[in-house]
Amino acid sequence: MNTLFNLVVVVQVLSALIIIALVLLQHGKGADMGAAFGSGASGSLFGATGSSNFMSKSTGVAAAIFFASTLALAYFGSNRVVDTGGGVMERATVPAKAPVTSSGVPVTTAPAPAAQAPAPASTGVPAAAPAPAAPVNQIPK
């Protein structure tokens, strides 16, 4: 099925390039417009275009191929089977979210303060107050 899809894409691109080339190579109908206003050839502007040549017939065939390949791509696109093997994002693990307070700050659990040894009594220096624990795993806003 994937090979057929790729083949239709190639046909689509080739037919689009062929249409572009054929349209650019054709003689425009607006070339006679200047003559329509002064030389009495106004019948060619809005009248019958005459028989179509090889270029216009080729453009019509290329347009029909382009239209058919567009319909085929629309059909393949709507009936495409999704591979459940799992992509990179499906296999990624999602970390658990930290709980958030009402103010929007994440709640973190601070580690228990380490027990400090009391200062020796013989020095006469009072024991220092424990330093506040640094927040753990906080993401700055």
pLDDT of the residue at 42: 47
Sequence-distant (≥ 6) Cβ neighbours of residue 76 within 8 angstroms: 1, 4, 5, 8
Triad 51, 54, 58: Cα angle to 5°: 115
Contacts 24+ apart (CB under 8 A), 95-102: 98/137
Sign for the CA dihedral angle at 10, 16, 49, 31 comes to negative
pLDDT of residue 132: 64
85: phi then psi, degrees, rounded to nearest 5:
-65, -20
pLDDT beneath 50: ranges in the chain: 41-44
pTM: 0.46
Determine the pLDDT at residue 68: 96
